[in-house]
Amino acid sequence: MKPFPLNKAFTFLEPGPVILVSTAGRDKPNVMTLSWTMVLDFTPRFAFMTGPWNYSYQALVKTRECVIALPTAGMAKTVVSIGACSGAEVNKFEKFKLTPLEAEYVKAPLIKECYANIECRIVEYIKRHSIFILDAAAAWVDEKHQKKPFFHAVGDGRFIVDGEKINHRKIMLEKLPEGV
């Protein structure tokens, strides 16, 4: 995986794709599927929503670290299946044939099969709304997946694959942060 400029890493999450979140554990790493995410800043800072009903919650709270990984649409069935079982019962990296790779700043693993991986530190957990606030420390991409589409959850069991790209950069140039 190649380093990816941190100031552009928000562009992975801004479109609202389904993501994987890996966490470190005492014996083994774990991974969950998330769709309720948001960009909070270009630096980049992110938010996602989860709570004690997810097995990963304990690892997030204890380690205050995770990796956000961006799966391609070709991985959709695997990613949905990851979300349909619990790390309390299953070694998900083994079951779903995911390869954990060592990260640089956090103990949670990068996921080799994904296009992008963002190492994150948890800044805060807003308990009353179940919102985790995260700052990214490093971002990585595997360029062989670069042209592949990502996918989005509708929330009712259907998913939407990325289609056509349109460019309106000229209209919003003044709104873009420097270097993006």
Q: Are 114 and 79 in contact (CB under 8 A)?
A: no
Instruction: Name the token pair of 147.
Output: 């042209």
For residue 149, say if its preceding peptide bond is cis, omega within 30 degrees of 0. Answer: no
Query: Is the distance from CB of 66 to CB of 145 less than 8 angstroms?
Result: no
* Contact (Cβ atoms closer than 8 angstroms) between residue 42 and residue 135: no
Residues 110-129 that bind a copy of itself (CB under 8 A): 124, 126, 129
Closer CB to a copy of itself, 27 or 53, in the complex: 53
Q: Is 89 in the site for a copy of itself (CB under 8 A)?
A: no
Nearer to a copy of itself (CB atom), residue 94 or residue 166: 166
Alpha carbon 148 to chain centroid distance?
16
Find the binding residues for a copy of itself in span 145-164 (CB under 8 A): 149, 151-164
Could you give the CA distance from residue 13 to residue 136 in angstroms, rounded to a whole number? 12
Site string for a copy of itself, 16-55 (x = CB under 8 A): xx-----------------xxxxxx------xxx------
Place of tokens 């420097």: 178
Is residue 6 involved in binding a copy of itself (CB under 8 A)? no
Q: Can residue 97 be called a binding residue for a copy of itself (CB under 8 A)?
A: no
Look up tokens 């619990």; give the residue. 86
- Judged by CB under 8 A, the residue of 80, 90, 122, 137 near a copy of itself is 80
Residues in contact with a copy of itself by CB under 8 A are 8, 10-11, 14-17, 35-40, 47-49, 73, 76-77, 80-81, 83-84, 124, 126, 129-131, 133, 149, 151-176, 180
